[in-house]
């Protein structure tokens, strides 16, 4: 059985804890019944001892598997990870979603995507990464009565993402602690209006509006100060023709959206200037989690 889950970029500027989008970069796991428990790791995190000894996937998978199944079985887990850890591309959401989906699939139980999304919410209480990880595309999401309420929109092929991944991680949990406890009324109004405009721009495919609509006063500047070079990455991306450029999740990745025809030029400009960072172009994913039995 094989499960794959896309990487995601959350917030998209002003949509803190609400907006998110999926790209084609993914984590994949193949699980087979086996005589003994064993794990193989390839790609991102392959040399990380935490992923070998205390793997979040295995512990979430076990929680669900033991609840769903009364049989005692062992499995071989083969992980192929493309999503870098703690770079703001939703690695933790991908793990949560794939572990829950795998536990149901291995027991042959069909799991509705909405139920999967609500189960994932117990492990990550903001819905902006888990919603695109499950559904693909652009998503606006909120939580009410412990349920994710969302609206989803596919992204056309005419758009691509140009992504700059710094060599330093930022932990989401720690980064959230650097944010202010209180915001001024002006900043709140700014973010509500920009996040609403950004959502409307995605829904109506008014791509020229993204630049203005993606401005934020709630989290980016506080987080980007930890790595001031990110301000230069953002300026360079916009100067090279990106439609918008925002801190991806809690960082450290800078995520730019552009017309497909401009992607190679923007990627080249960013790679020339920030050769010490990983720079690449990606398509958007409109499918979300995929399960092959």
Ligand X SMILES: Nc1ncnc2c1ncn2[C@@H]1O[C@H](COP(=O)(O)OP(=O)(O)O)[C@@H](O)[C@H]1O
Does the protein bind ligand X through residue 220 (CB under 6 A)?
Answer: no
**88 interacts with ligand LJ64HWYM by CB under 6 A:** yes
The answer to whether 175 is a known ligand-binding residue is no
* Site membership for ligand X, residue 117 (CB under 6 A): no
Vertex 163 angle, CA 125 and 8, to 5°: 25
Cβ proximity to ligand X: between 16 and 201 the closer is 16
CA nearest neighbour of 20 among 95, 172, 126? 126
Helices 91-106 & 113-120 angle (0-180, nearest 10): 130
| Binder of ligand X out of 85, 151, 209, 227 (CB under 6 A) | 85
Q: Tokens standing for 60?
A: 């979430």
172 lies in the binding site for ligand X (CB under 6 A) = yes
Q: Decide: is 81 part of the binding site for ligand LJ64HWYM (CB under 6 A).
A: no
27 C-beta neighbours (distance < 10 Å), count? 25
DSSP 247-289: E-TTSS-EEEEEEGGGHHHHHHHHHHH-TTSEEEEE-B-SS--
Instruction: Give the residue with the Cβ less far from ligand X, 8 or 281.
Output: 8
Q: Which stretch binds ligand LJ64HWYM (CB under 6 A): 124-132, 155-163, 181-189, 282-290?
A: 124-132
Is residue 20 helix, strand or coil? Answer: strand
269 is a contact residue toward ligand X (CB under 6 A): no
Which of 3, 5, 10, 119 touches ligand LJ64HWYM (CB under 6 A)?
10
List strand residue ranges (DSSP E) for 62-194, in order. Answer: 74-81, 138-144, 147-153, 159-165
Is residue 55 a contact point for ligand X (CB under 6 A)? yes
Residues in the chain: 293
Position 20 contacts ligand X (CB under 6 A) = no
DSSP 209: G
51 vs 242, which CB is nearer to ligand X? 51
Short-list 287, 280, 285, 254, CA closest to 12: 254
The CA–CA distances, whole Å, from 109 to 103, 276, 288 equal 9, 46, 19
Nearer to ligand LJ64HWYM, 92 or 139 (CB): 92
Give dist(CA 254, CA 270) in Å, integer. 11
Q: Does 11 bind ligand LJ64HWYM (CB under 6 A)?
A: yes
Q: Give the shortest CB-170-to-ligand X separation in angstroms.
A: 7
Question: Contact, 169 vs 85, CB < 8 A?
Answer: yes
Shortest Cβ 156–ligand X spacing (Å)? 26
Contact residues for 102 (Cβ-Cβ < 8 A; gap 6+): 1, 3, 29, 31, 61
In this complex, which beta carbon is closest to ligand LJ64HWYM, that of residue 10 or of residue 105?
A: 10
* Selected binder of ligand LJ64HWYM within 37, 168, 176, 239 (CB under 6 A): 176
- 126 touches ligand LJ64HWYM by CB under 6 A: yes
- Smallest separation (angstroms) from ligand X to the CB of 126: 10
Q: Annotated binding site for ATP: which residue ranges?
A: 84-94
> Which residues sit at the interface with ligand X, rule CB under 6 A?
27, 45, 51, 55-57, 81, 85-92, 95, 171-172, 249-250
């Amino acid at each position: 059985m094989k499960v794959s889950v896309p990487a995601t970029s959350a917030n998209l500027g002003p949509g803190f804890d609400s907006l998110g989008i999926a790209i084609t970069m993914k984590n994949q796991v193949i699980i087979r019944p086996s005589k003994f428990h064993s794990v193989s790791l390839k790609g991102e995190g392959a040399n990380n001892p935490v992923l070998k000894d205390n793997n979040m996937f295995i512990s979430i998978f076990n929680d669900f598997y033991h609840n769903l199944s009364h049989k005692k079985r062992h499995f071989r887990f083969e992980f192929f990870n493309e999503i870098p850890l703690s770079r703001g591309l939703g690695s933790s959401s991908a793990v949560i979603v794939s572990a829950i989906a795998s536990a149901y699939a291995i027991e042959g139980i069909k799991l509705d995507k909405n139920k999967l999304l609500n189960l994932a919410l117990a492990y990550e209480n903001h819905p902006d990464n888990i919603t695109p990880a499950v559904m693909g595309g652009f998503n606006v999401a909120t939580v009410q009565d412990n349920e994710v309420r969302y609206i989803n929109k596919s992204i056309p092929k005419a758009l691509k993402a140009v992504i700059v991944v710094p060599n330093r991680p930022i932990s989401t949990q720690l980064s959230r602690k650097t944010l202010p406890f209180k915001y001024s009324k002006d900043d709140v109004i700014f973010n509500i209006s920009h996040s609403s405009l950004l959502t409307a721009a995605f829904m109506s495919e008014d791509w020229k509006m993204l630049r203005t609509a993606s401005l934020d006063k709630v989290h980016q500047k506080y987080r980007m100060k930890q790595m001031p070079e990110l301000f230069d990455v953002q300026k360079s991306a916009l100067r090279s023709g990106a439609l918008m450029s925002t801190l991806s999740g809690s960082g450290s990745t800078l995520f730019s959206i552009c017309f497909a025809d401009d992607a190679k030029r923007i990627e080249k400009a960013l790679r020339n200037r920030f050769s010490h960072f990983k720079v690449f172009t990606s398509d958007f994913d409109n499918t979300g989690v995929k399960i092959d039995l």
